[in-house]
Structure 1
Amino acid sequence: MSIKNVAIIGAAGNLGAPVTKALLESGFAITAISRPESTSTFPAGVAVKKVDLSSVDALTEAFKGQDAVISLITTREAAKQNVLADAAVAAGVKRYIPSEFGVNSSQVAGSRLAPGVQPKAEHITYITGLAQKNPGFTWTGITCGPFFDYCWNLKLFGVSPKDKYAAIVDSGNERFGATTLPDVAKGVVGVLTHLPETANKYIAIQTFETCQNEILAATEKVVGFKLSVLNVTADQALKKGDERMAEGDYMHAFIDYLAHWFLADGSNHKNSADILANDIIGLKQSSVEDVIKTLV
């Protein structure tokens, strides 16, 4: 089994754009699936189909002839993915990649992240059942930790050379895996070129494993000056997130909750060795310093 034709939902988004670019460069034929009212634009060579994303029939027709379907819809829309998987099965799609990425959704129950991320975990359960009932249909879930380059700009890691300060949560030594957007895109390509090894599995990828203090040290080395350090507790980050959520500032509240999730001492949300798949799909890891050089 090989993959040639790939349909992407969310191909113009923050993750969708680099994934689309990487797939095009790797020789895949890409079809962007978007809503009828969408004004998104796509690179040359990308076919576009405007479809009612709530209609199994419309999606099934759009997915006909596609070998793979990749869902890159936002976390806030993740609860609506079952219809995509149903249509993929009906259209005879071989591989489905859900909008997982980021946090390992199987771990979020009971946390502040649960309202937004739990639907992703439920979707994994749903597509696991679909694959069991439909042997020609396979899936791969990908967790990658925070998008390092994207979250750097949102100051998730608390390090800001522009402002010459760093806000370090707890000890700053809690380790976690992070992945740049281009590496997430390479990971998707890797999955589609390593089908047997990734079939019906939940895998992790990462550009590197690190901690706040390593990020701070690497940043200071790259920029050539020391940053002022402010120590904060994980509970403070959580409280700030709650305040922002109460104000309706979903985006920044989510960043605060992510900071608590990944940076709090004892959170233990680094990628476990049993699901880390960099070697399996051929994704090389990089150093924190080398990545930061591209960001400052």
Structure 2
Amino acid sequence: MRNMILVAGATGNLGKRIVKALVEKNAEVKVLIRPNTDTEIINALFKIGAKIHELNHWNKEEIAIACDDVACVVSVLAGLKDVIIDAQKILLDAAVLAGVPRFIPSDYSLDFTNFKQDENRNLDLRREFHTYLDQQNIRATSVFNGAFMELILDEMPLIVFKPKLVIYWGKADYKWGFTAIDDVAKYTANVALDPNTPRYLNIAGDQISPREVKVAVSEVTKKSFTLIRLGGKTLLGIMIKIAKKVSPAENELYPAWQGMQYMHNMIDPRSEIKQLDNNRYAGMSWFSVKDMLYANKV
């Protein structure tokens, strides 16, 4: 009987947390480690409780050996075409070759299934991989979590603390979906251990509008923040085109315009979460934006 969960991409921030969440659920976890991986990172995963499978080469045959007793492969690979499509295809082919029943692709984003080509470079790659994935003899489940909540304090400058602003594009009362990284990890662990998952699962630790963010940050900091609208979806689209011409940075994973593309998707009604799957697993508690602000002592 297959009872092992294999995680690829376990050395990253989300991947390591998924491994930890699986171990805390008493799951047997195996992680794929590429050549020349830092010894400290390997030791950290071993201490968590993972079984280490070191690869000599990233190829189908070698990875299939690691998949021999695996019930579900969890991909947390991060990168551009050479990773999300090329490397992940090899991982998927190995899982199919070994007869692994289930596969979780490296999505962990807003639901991009209703968007078109060229609206978001990084999500285009995931959609292209889905075309290949859905043709294979394996059950797949994607976890869509909106945006990682922690981005609010860094890469997604929604809150600007010094001048006490909440800045946004689109509509002030349109709710965006955010999920804390730990909650994504815990939910993904549940999905990996669940043999009867659907093709897509949608979660959001908090669904909150810019206006509600203003209220939350004002309450937490006990300071009055001002809500500032930068423009609508059309203007943001123009800004993205300008940013790409000024600084193409096509080989960078997260150039400035990539973050702008994600924001453009988030304020688009096509990204609206119609039905949440938060309650699928008992024992899940969800971090809110206000919780995150308190936790970070803003």
Judge same fold: TM > 0.5, yes or no: yes
Cα distance, 1:73 vs structure 2: 0.7
Matched, 1:254 2:258: yes
1:58 maps to 62
Structure 1 spans left out of the alignment, 5+ residues: 132-136
Provide Cα deviations, 1:239-286, integer angstroms capped at 9, x if missing partner: 4444443414542221111112113xx53412121xx32222334445
2:272 maps to 270
Kept in 1: contact 2:183–2:287 (CA 8 A): no
Kept in 2: contact 1:71–1:98 (CA 8 A): yes
2:132 maps to 126
In 2, Cα distance between equivalents of 1:56 and 1:292: 44
1:134 maps to none
Equivalent position amino acid for 2:145 in 1: C
Q: How does 1:140-219 map to 2 (within 5 A)?
A: 140-149=141-150, 151-156=151-156, 158-196=158-196, 198-199=197-198, 201-219=199-217
Cα distance, 1:218 vs structure 2: 0.7
Equivalent position amino acid for 1:172 in 2: A
In 2, Cα distance between equivalents of 1:148 and 1:294: 12
Aligned-partner SS, 1:67? strand
Gap change, CA 1:37 and 1:54, over 3 Å in 2 = same
Aligned-partner SS, 1:33? strand
Gap change, CA 1:53 and 1:270, over 3 Å in 2 = farther
1:99 maps to 106
Cα distance, 1:155 vs structure 2: 4.4
Provide Cα deviations, 1:175-195, integer angstroms capped at 9, x if missing partner: 222211011011112213432
1:27 maps to 26
Cα distance, 1:94 vs structure 2: 2.3
In 1, Cα distance between equivalents of 2:236 and 2:221: 27
Gap change, CA 1:108 and 1:154, over 3 Å in 2 = farther
Aligned-partner SS, 2:63? helix
Aligned-partner SS, 1:191? helix
Cα distance, 1:287 vs structure 2: 3.8
Count of aligned pairs: 282
Gap change, CA 1:54 and 1:258, over 3 Å in 2 = same
In 1, Cα distance between equivalents of 2:147 and 2:20: 20
In 2, Cα distance between equivalents of 1:75 and 1:204: 22
In 2, Cα distance between equivalents of 1:244 and 1:185: 33
Cα distance, 1:121 vs structure 2: 1.9
Gap change, CA 1:130 and 1:194, over 3 Å in 2 = same
In 1, Cα distance between equivalents of 2:289 and 2:153: 15
Kept in 2: contact 1:7–1:69 (CA 8 A): yes
Gap change, CA 1:215 and 1:268, over 3 Å in 2 = farther
Select the residue among 84, 87, 97 that pairs with 1:78: 84
Gap change, CA 1:191 and 1:241, over 3 Å in 2 = same
Equivalent position amino acid for 1:46 in 2: A
Gap change, CA 1:139 and 1:243, over 3 Å in 2 = same
Gap change, CA 1:54 and 1:238, over 3 Å in 2 = farther
Gap change, CA 1:59 and 1:156, over 3 Å in 2 = same
Equivalent position amino acid for 1:90 in 2: L
Kept in 1: contact 2:180–2:287 (CA 8 A): no
Gap change, CA 1:260 and 1:22, over 3 Å in 2 = same
Matched, 1:14 2:13: yes
Equivalent position amino acid for 1:102 in 2: S
Gap change, CA 1:209 and 1:75, over 3 Å in 2 = farther
In 1, Cα distance between equivalents of 2:8 and 2:162: 35
Structure 2 spans left out of the alignment, 5+ residues: none
Percent of aligned pairs with the same amino acid = 21
2:52 maps to 48
